[in-house]
Structure 1
Amino acid sequence: MNSPLSSAEDPRSLQIASDNVGQQLQQIAILTRKAASQLGTALGINQTDVAALEHLITDGPLAPTELAARLCVTTAGITQVIDRLERAGHVVRERQLNDKRRVLVCPVADSVAQAYRHIAPMLNGLSAVLGALDGQDRSVVEAFLGQVIEVYRSTLPGSAGPALEQADA
């Protein structure tokens, strides 16, 4: 039987849990996971595969080793991810002309379009929200989100990757 959490171990006792902004950040995290789950269902892939496809759509073709590092999986694990995505028709492996040993994983244009169609209503809604921000409000939001991103990067293993200054996908 599980013992109850002490107040020092219970995340609900933290200040952020009772702070409106903290609660909103938590809701964004929950809704982001839900959106990713729905995208995975629409594309017929699991969450790890969705994450891999997101990196490929956002940053373009990547070497399998780079993709493995970003997802914090082994090279054997990334091979399975790429195999699944390839079988589902979402990616192709392309050998480099100048070095036949080097392979890049490339997202398939139809899959990129399908993913975009699925998330377009959310992106359009967010674009409208961003468009309504005036200069000063926008600066405050940018500074705040930059600090939140830095907290995540500094506390999550393997998250010190490339800066995602514009998340268009």
Structure 2
Amino acid sequence: MTDPTDPTGPPPPPEPGPGPGLRTVHQLRALTVELDLLAAAFAQRHGLHPTDLRALIALLDAAREGTPATPGRLGRELGLNSAGTTAVLDRLERLGHVRRARDPHDRRRVLLEVTERAVALGQGFFGPLIGDAVALVDGLSEAERATVLGFLAAMREIVTRHSGTAGG
């Protein structure tokens, strides 16, 4: 019998590597880091704060959904109070990326719109990445696409659930 405390004995067997779940989490983390770096490069190149970029994305998402974008909705989505939301909108408007307009049906309400200039900047920078990603997804079978979409939706739910408990 080998004495485990004997330094001349055989080394312990190596621990097994991470399983597929942990390898997938590590790939997601690596992807997130790369996307964050890319977004930071875009923001820096165009004089934007990271929150400004998040605001533009939120406004573009609202437009794609056909949902009116208002300062209140934007503030809730970004987790900002009224003053913070106004500061973001002032910066974006000053840079020519956002327009504020009165709602023609309710003059008390302000609607927000991303300008064509901002859309063109985003497409110029992110367009090739988006094109490559679309081509990758288009090359998948219908079943693979359904699996990927289901996985991403479930991961988003998990992250959203945990974001309320982060840091505490």
Q: Same fold (TM over 0.5)?
A: yes
Q: Aligned-pair distance for 1:55?
A: 0.8
Q: Tell me, what secondary structure is at the counterpart of 2:96?
A: coil
Contact 1:91 1:108 survives alignment (8 Å) = yes
1:98–1:134 distance in 2 versus 1, CA, 3 Å: closer
Q: Aligned-pair distance for 1:84?
A: 0.4
Distance 1:99 1:76 in 2: 22
Unaligned runs of 5+ in 2: 1-17
2:25 aligned with 1:45, yes or no?
Answer: no
Q: Output aligned runs, 1:125-164, within 5 Å.
A: 125-157=132-164
Return the structure number with greater relative CO, CA threshold 8 A, min gap 6: 1
Distance 1:142 1:54 in 2: 20
**1:34 pairs with 27, 32, 37, which one?**
37
Q: Tell me, what secondary structure is at the counterpart of 1:105?
A: strand
Alignment coverage as a number of residue pairs: 143
1:5 match: none
Unaligned runs of 5+ in 1: 1-14, 158-169
2:77 aligned with 1:74, yes or no?
Answer: no
Q: Aligned-pair distance for 1:103?
A: 0.4
Aligned-partner residue type, residue 40 of structure 2: S
Distance 2:28 2:160 in 1: 16
Distance 2:31 2:138 in 1: 19
Q: Tell me, what secondary structure is at the counterpart of 1:19?
A: helix
Contact 1:90 1:107 survives alignment (8 Å) = yes
2:31 aligned with 1:19, yes or no?
Answer: no
RMSD value over aligned CA atoms?
A: 1.9
Aligned-partner residue type, residue 19 of structure 1: L
Alpha-carbon displacement from aligned partner over 1:22-52 (angstroms, at most 9, x marks no partner): 1100011101211211221232211000000
Q: TM-score scaled to structure 1, two decimals?
A: 0.78
1:110 match: 117
Alpha-carbon displacement from aligned partner over 1:44-69 (angstroms, at most 9, x marks no partner): 21100000011111212511010000
